Amino acid sequence: MIPAPRWRKVLRDVLRNPTRTLLVVLSIAVGVIAVAIVMGAYGIIAADLPNAFDATNPAHANIRMQPFADDLVDVVGRMDGVADAAGRRVVSVQARVPDPEGPPGATTWQDLQLLVIDDFDDQRINIVRPESGAWPPDKGEMLVERASMAALGAVEGEPLTIKLANDDERALKVVGQAHDMNEVSLAITGLASGYITPDTLEKLGLDRRYNEMLIRVAENADQRSHNEEIARAVADKVEKGGYTVFRTSVPRPGEHFLEQFLSPMLLILGALGVLSLLLSSFLLVNIITALLAQQTRQIGVMKTVGASAGQLTRMYLASVALFGALALAIALPLGTLLMNALLAFVARLMNFNVVTNRLPLPVVAVLIVIAMGVPVIAALGPILRGTRVTVREAISDFGAGSTVFGRSRIDQALESIRFLSRPQLISLRNTFRRKGRLILTLTTLILASAIFISVFSVRASLFRTMDDAFAYWNYEVRLNFARAYRAEHLAAVALEVPGVRAAEAWGLRNVYRVRPDDTESDNIRLIAPQPDTKLLNPTLLEGRWLLPTDEDAVVINTDLLDDEPDLRVGDRMVLNVDGRDVAWTIVGLVRSVMAGPYAYTNYPYFARMVRQVGQADILNVALEDQSPAAQTAMALELERVFEAQGMRVVGTETTAAQRDQVGDQYGILIAFLALMALLLAIVGGLGLSGTMSINVLERRREIGIMRSIGASTPAIMRIIIFEGVLIGAMGWILGALLALPLSRILSDAVGEGFIHSTLTWTYSLGGAAFWLLVMAGVAALSSFVPARQAASLTVREVLAYE
């Protein structure tokens, strides 16, 4: 069926002006893509992650304790409220891996936990699944968690050298990969995971007993408080049986531990997505208004031959819907592609398999509504105004320039400017001729600028906060010893090594708080520096730092306060240290260092309390050369020196490595914020080029007049490009100013969402400068094309243009 002439007009108007159609379609598409990425990813993660996680039958509680055997597992398994219990052995070792920072062939040690699985084909709790290669591993073989392969430099079929706690080095053959969703991803902890059978464990010279009890709760397992109750009952029971419990952890039921991290990220991305959509609809309002202005005469003619305003409204709404449909055709595939990139990223971070790779149908439905609805709503105002124009207004609208200039105060202020050349004055005054359009274009540019600079500022703030955090640790290498040695001796040995600036032996225990109602907190790191320590620069927020004379005083950090919000400086607090409840007085609060809940106390008191007076198992070493390479080299050297003296080092940490790891985590966030900022930048660029091409189209007649009185091609191009650059510059300046409060809000939100503390806010001047370059480029480019188009018209063409 042949459509009626008016619908043919709609179709041809859309097709005949490909530049404008592309501009409109792209601006709608960008907004839709932004929403598609965030909504799609969120929908898929929300659907796939709990399913994948539940399928592993995750433990409701995890109790680390003294070695035990199957008989205790059976006892626990029969307890009221316990659905199932399983024993597991976790062995901390180190694996020899190629050193990426050292010379070729150099190796370093990577922390590795070996999980011992009784029967790989009959797992009940925290199920590990085969990924590739052999299953199960034989005696002397191991499987490696798929996300740990790269960090271990592991190759299927090749042996891996591991070092046990007693410094024995053994080779285990890597025969395959496993997938374990219950171990916190290597990307977060830096800890690699491997899986062996009990036979292999025996072959390594270790006994077969378990050191971890995994529990599934029978009823109401979705209530964390109930799970905590059951876990405490189990812990009480085993303690009565004479076993020491080291640590009990009860995760949020049914929730992957990274979901907390993911929600704020998706929330921020979602907010930016909605904002891009909003800005792209501003752009649409501009373009539709201009399109209608351009077609005013045609509207008049159509009305003359009998068209009603309703018919015309429907025609133009149809063309907007057509733009929306074209935008959808671009946004659906491109949005799916980008969403899958985000999902791949998140899946790697969280180590889970994304099953779905298509936009969920409800999301597609929402996108269709957005792609067709938002433009129609945005365009409705301009269309109703445009089609309500009377025929007389429509057909009498001719001559050079139809807009009124000179009435507003801005215009009068501009008229009083005299120092510019005449062509520059034209640019300047033209800029302010269409004020509504200028406001919408500027809003887009200002918001795009502000958000772009804010994202860079959040990045700068994150790194600044990290710098603060690591400046806080005024040492570069930490050595963990197999047992306690004499503290003074440890420091003395280290100070002998050339390049060592300072060395202090500290105490460290994992403890938990016993609350007034007898419930227990999650793990807290109790750190005991020397009273006159020079290796710590805490940022004190409240109270005071430790005095050498303090006995039972502790200083807590903001992460601990976050977990235990009832704590106040001056309060008493009970901590369970090595199985004993000890009361402390809180004397101060320090800023958290992106490291979790910490409490600090004086070393002498701590040593007495843990019955290791004068002894320590941790040595912190400050170096003269603090470069990452020097840190790695010194860690190895110190380890060699101590081993040579018969003191067993079980692990070394360098701040450079920790820093890389933290940086990687936030790099992900920054990458996605930057992606959204880029989408906004595209919207901003489209907005400016849209406005400039509309302005040029509208002023063709004026351009013809300028040509006829002697304006050269470069002169006309300069006038138009100057106007574009002027708008760009205004957008940049106002955006850079708006970024001052906005970056602060965003950096607070990111801080709250990710480290439960505000970031040290920093305004990124580099980001602002970079954006200035981008804006200058975008402004010049987006006005160059319309300018060249305008300059290529002949006087006859322009003046005859109807």
Partner 1 sequence: MFWSRSNGAGSPISTNGVAHAAPHAPRLIDLRHVVKNYATAAGAYTALRGIDLGVDAGEFVAVVGKSGSGKSTLSNMITGIDRPTSGEVLVGGVAVQQLTEGQIAVWRGRTVGVVFQFFQLLPTLTVVENIMLPMDFCNTFNEHRHARRERALFLLSQVDMQMHADKLPTALSGGQQQRIAIARALANDPPIVVADEPTGNLDSHTADAVFHLFEQLVAAGKTILMVTHDDDLARRATRTITIADGEIISDRPNYAPHAVVDDDVDDAILLGDEELRLA
Largest CA distance in the chain: 103
User: Minimal distance in Å, beta carbon 412 to partner 1?
Assistant: 16
Of 248 and 296, nearer to partner 1 (C-beta) is: 296
- Rounded CA-CA distance 722/730 in Å is 12
Nearer to partner 1, 404 or 709 (CB): 404
Residue closer to partner 1 by CB (options 12, 640) is 12
DSSP class of residue 185 equals P
* Helix, strand, coil shares, percent, the chain, to 5: 55, 20, 25
Provide, rounded to whole angstroms, the least separation between the CB of residue 398 and partner 1. 9
| Residue 467 Cα to chain centre, angstroms | 18
Question: Footprint of partner 1 on residues 509-528 (CB under 8 A)?
Answer: none
Question: With contacts defined by CB under 8 A, how many residues of the chain interact with partner 1?
Answer: 29
Which of residues 11 and 221 has its CB atom nearest to partner 1 in the complex? 11
CB of 300 to partner 1, least distance (A): 8
CA 671 – CA 684 distance, rounded (Å): 20
Count CB atoms within 10 A of the CB of residue 674. Answer: 16
Residue 325 CB, nearest distance to partner 1 (Å)?
Answer: 19
Nearest approach, Cβ of residue 322 and partner 1 (Å): 14
Question: Tokens 């598609």 identify what position?
Answer: 36
Of 85 and 394, nearer to partner 1 (C-beta) is: 394
740 binds partner 1 (CB under 8 A): no
Q: Which two tokens stand for residue 313?
A: 């409204």
Nearer to partner 1, 404 or 644 (CB): 404
- x-or-dash pattern for partner 1, window 299-338, by CB under 8 A? -xxxxxxxxxxxx---------------------------
Closer of 146 and 303 to partner 1 (Cβ)? 303
Residue 51 or 311: the one with the smaller Cβ distance to partner 1 is 311
Least distance to partner 1 from the beta carbon of 1, Å?
8
Contact 159, 144 (CB under 8 A): no
User: Which long-range contacts (C-beta less than 8 Å, at least 24 apart) are formed by 785-789?
Assistant: 785/689, 785/693, 786/689, 786/692, 786/693, 786/695, 786/696, 786/697, 786/720, 787/692, 787/696, 787/716, 787/717, 787/720, 787/721, 787/724, 788/717, 789/693, 789/696
For residues 305 and 709, which CB has a smaller minimum distance to partner 1 in the complex? Answer: 305
**Three-state SS for 259?**
helix
Rounded to a whole number of angstroms, the minimum distance from the CB of residue 447 to partner 1 is 35
Site string (5-44) toward partner 1, x via CB under 8 A: xx-xx--xx--x----------------------------
H helices present in 351-477, as ranges:
361-387, 391-395, 409-415, 422-431, 435-472
Token representation of residue 3: 């459509």
Q: Which runs of consecutive H residues, i.e. helices, occur in 178-308?
A: 186-189, 198-203, 224-240, 259-294, 296-304
Q: Which of residues 436-475 bind partner 1 (CB under 8 A)?
A: none
- The residues pairing with 528 across neighbouring beta strands, listed in sequence order, are 507
Burial call 295-314: b when 16+ CB within 10 Å, e when fewer: bbebbbebbeeebebeebbb
CB of 789 to partner 1, least distance (A): 18
How far does Cα 644 stand from its chain's mean position? 44
Residue numbers 364-403 binding partner 1 by CB under 8 A: 388, 390-392, 395
Question: Smallest distance, Å, CB 801 to partner 1?
Answer: 11
Nearer to partner 1, 357 or 403 (CB): 403
- State in angstroms the smallest separation of the CB of 27 from partner 1: 22
User: Cβ closer to partner 1: 223 or 304?
Assistant: 304
Smallest distance, Å, CB 745 to partner 1?
Answer: 46
C-beta closer to partner 1: residue 6 or 209 = 6
- Least distance between partner 1 and beta carbon 15 (Å): 9
Report in angstroms how near the CB of residue 306 gets to partner 1 at its nearest. Answer: 2
Q: Which stretch binds partner 1 (CB under 8 A): 49-57, 178-186, 293-301, 330-338?
A: 293-301
Q: Which is nearer to partner 1, 92 or 801 (CB)?
A: 801
Q: Say what angle helices 18-54 and 655-698 make with each other, to 10 degrees.
A: 150
Q: How far is the CB of 409 from partner 1 (least distance, A)?
A: 18
Does residue 136 have a cis peptide bond before it, meaning omega lies within 30 degrees of 0? yes
Q: CB neighbours of 736 closer than 8 A, spacing ≥ 6?
A: 449, 450, 453, 768, 771
417 vs 440: CA distance, rounded Å = 25
- With CB under 8 A as the contact rule, the residue among 64, 170, 297, 788 that binds partner 1 is 297
Terminal alpha carbon distance of the chain: 32
The piece of 53-61, 296-304, 549-557, 713-721 that touches partner 1 (CB under 8 A) is 296-304
Contact flag: residue 4 with partner 1 (CB under 8 A): yes
Q: Which two tokens stand for residue 572?
A: 């008493």
Task: Kindly tell me which of 267 and 395 has the beta carbon lying closer to partner 1.
Answer: 395
Among the residue ranges 3-11, 252-260, 368-376, 570-578, the one whose residues contact partner 1 (CB under 8 A) = 3-11
Q: Alpha-carbon distance 571 to 583, whole Å?
A: 10
Type and span of the H or E element at 738? helix 713-755
Q: Which range touches partner 1 (CB under 8 A), out of 4-12, 19-27, 447-455, 464-472?
A: 4-12
User: Virtual CA dihedral for 264, 270, 271, 274, nearest 10 degrees?
Assistant: -170
Q: Show the DSSP H helices in 473-572 as ranges.
A: 487-496, 558-563
103 binds partner 1 (CB under 8 A): no
Q: Give the interface with partner 1 as residue ranges (CB under 8 A).
A: 4-6, 8-9, 12-13, 16, 297-298, 300-311, 388, 390-392, 395, 404, 802
